[in-house]
Amino acid sequence: MGRSAFFVRTFGCPVKCPWCDSAGTWHKDWVPDHINRMTTEAIVAEIVEADPSMVVITGGEPTVHDLSDLARAIRNDTAATVHVETCGAFEYTRDTFDWVTLSPKWDRVPLAANIRSCSELKIIVDQEDSIDRWLSFLSLSIGSDVLELEKPIWLHPEWSQRNNPLILNKIAEMVKTHGGPLRAGWQLHKLYKVDALDDRAAKQAPLGGNPALGL
């Protein structure tokens, strides 16, 4: 088994986050000219050939689709673990996935059961009060302090705010104050331009579909 990650990006998303870097999945001006519709068998054949150690299913919002057949086929035909990144607003069977990254969105807030069962949380920090608001909401949803779940809670500066000292200072302050499970995150794939350098990647869409915000 290799040690790489294989990403499957599902198309379509019922949420429209202003910071979205996958606007090609929902913004009318950035929908690709051609969408390669693939069967489960075809996706799994590509995964088998790539021989990764993990498969990450992301979107759009992957859990608006029934992923059970795809996850089962990946587990049957490969040694890779199955990860998913979701906003957590939709019901899914937790056992379908080995790892669940829940990145909450205000337009479709996560279900309490999904907050409890996810492997880690990822908060996109686009405003100074984002962290406090989300920690408060998540705690209220599950009826106890979300920090006591002791699962990683990543704090990612929203990409257009990555040089904003107010945002970065807030993340640093929260991590220094609380320690684990809070973790300062960064969208490193953007820094390294891994999508732009990949011939097979879809054409990049600007944040929120707005060219003024950059990629």
> Taking a C-beta distance cutoff of 8 angstroms, is the pair 135, 147 a contact?
yes
Nearest distance in Å: CB 35, ligand SF4? 15
Q: How far apart are CA 59 and CA 74, in angstroms?
A: 18
Of 171, 72, 54, 70, whose CA–CA distance to 119 is shortest?
54
**Cβ nearer to ligand SF4, comparing 78 with 141:** 141
Half-sphere exposure of 47 (CA within 13 A, CB side): 28
Nearest approach, Cβ of 30 to ligand SF4 (angstroms)? 11
In the complex, what is the shortest distance from the CB of residue 108 to ligand SF4, in angstroms, rounded to a whole number? 8
Q: For ligand SF4, give the closer residue by CB, 26 or 92.
A: 26
φ, ψ at 75 (rounded to 5°): -70, -35
Between 78 and 86, whose beta carbon lies closer to ligand SF4? 86
Binding site for ligand SF4 (CB under 6 A): 13, 15-17, 20, 22, 25-26, 59-61, 87, 105
Q: How far is the CB of 76 from ligand SF4 (least distance, A)?
A: 28
Whether the Cβ atoms of residue 84 and residue 56 lie closer than 8 Å to each other: yes
Considering the complex, state which of residue 73 and residue 123 has its C-beta at the smaller distance from ligand SF4. 123
